[in-house]
Structure 1
Amino acid sequence: MPGQVGAIANEQEGLLAYLAQMRYVVKLTAYGLSPEQLRATPTASPLTVGGLIKHCASTEEGWIDDVRREPRELDYTAYEENFALSEGETIDEVFARYDRVAARTEKTVAEIGDLDRAVPVDHSVPWNPKDLDNWSVRWVLLHLIQETARHAGHADIIRESVDGGTAYPIMAAAEGWPASPWMKPWQPAS
């Protein structure tokens, strides 16, 4: 996938394309990392690259449950576990789940076809406005873009702290870009 979203024909296509781009860049932060590095906490935060990717998949899945008006169990006592790879859980398993979530998001939005469709606001959590009864599908997609981009930034900082890798050199390595005078693809430390 290129470093930029391509041309878009309409709003729905644009929202889904930007969400796909943010999924891609957050997943790229794991490129070339060992299982130990995916779990490393090299900053003041307890966040990890693997845990952030897992959280993004879980968050998107929950929001699409809301869009589909499917019940879900919210267990905020296990919130921290949402940000960490479980014992034995692999990044490939997390990627596979995230890919399934992404396919479900795109299918759901295509089936609905109406970005103005109402999505009930969950008033059980303190961060949602009490004076608003519904979001729209459009709002949910924009929120998912925002949430994924925020966590991609967190993952970028953690990744750089783990091994010095930064976004575009990692993308260059993952996509096989040739080295240039201004961009060298990331390589593992020897």
Structure 2
Amino acid sequence: MKKFFKSVLVLTIATGLVAFTTPVEEKSVKPEESTVTWKGYKVTGSHEGTVQLQSGNLEFDGDQLTGGEFVVDMSTLISTDLTGEYKGKLEVHLKSDDFFGVEKFPTASLKITDVKSNGKNSYEVTGDLTVKGKTNPVTFDMSVYGNKATANVKIDRTKYDIRYGSGSFFDDLGDKTIYDEFDLVVDLQF
């Protein structure tokens, strides 16, 4: 009889704990209202543009960010700092195998693997970034306010086998050197 009451007590406590646990809520990102802006640097200046989200979601436990996943449509990669012939040439080159190999790798993705709170609405986020079929961890800060999240992400392109014009791999490039790191500024609406 004691075992029966002990079992009922344990079951009641376990049920109560489950009832007070907040379920993880997944919030879908609105790709058409979100922006991903890129900026790449070279010795003689920089170029910038955008690429569009294909899909994404953020996961929350109550109001605390706990995870998320995103897919970027690499075929939408464009330059916004050039016009005409030079804009077209840069976009074709960025989509070629020298850079992102968009024909073979039409998407890039990020899966959040760890989130640490840095204070109210601020997080240190670590995720697995996959570009050109190669996956590496990235860590960045993200802020979440209401139905908006923002992040600035610095990416070392050479970790994804994007070595064109890299001074880390080629000598005597001079003013044709393209720096290994590029920036993403991400504004998400969900």
* TM-score interval, normalised by the smaller of the two chains: under 0.3
Structure with greater strand share of residues: 2
Higher relative contact order (CA 8 A, sep 6+): 1
- TM-score normalized by structure 2? 0.23
Structure with greater helix share of residues: 1
**Which protein has the larger Cα radius of gyration, Structure 1 or Structure 2?**
2
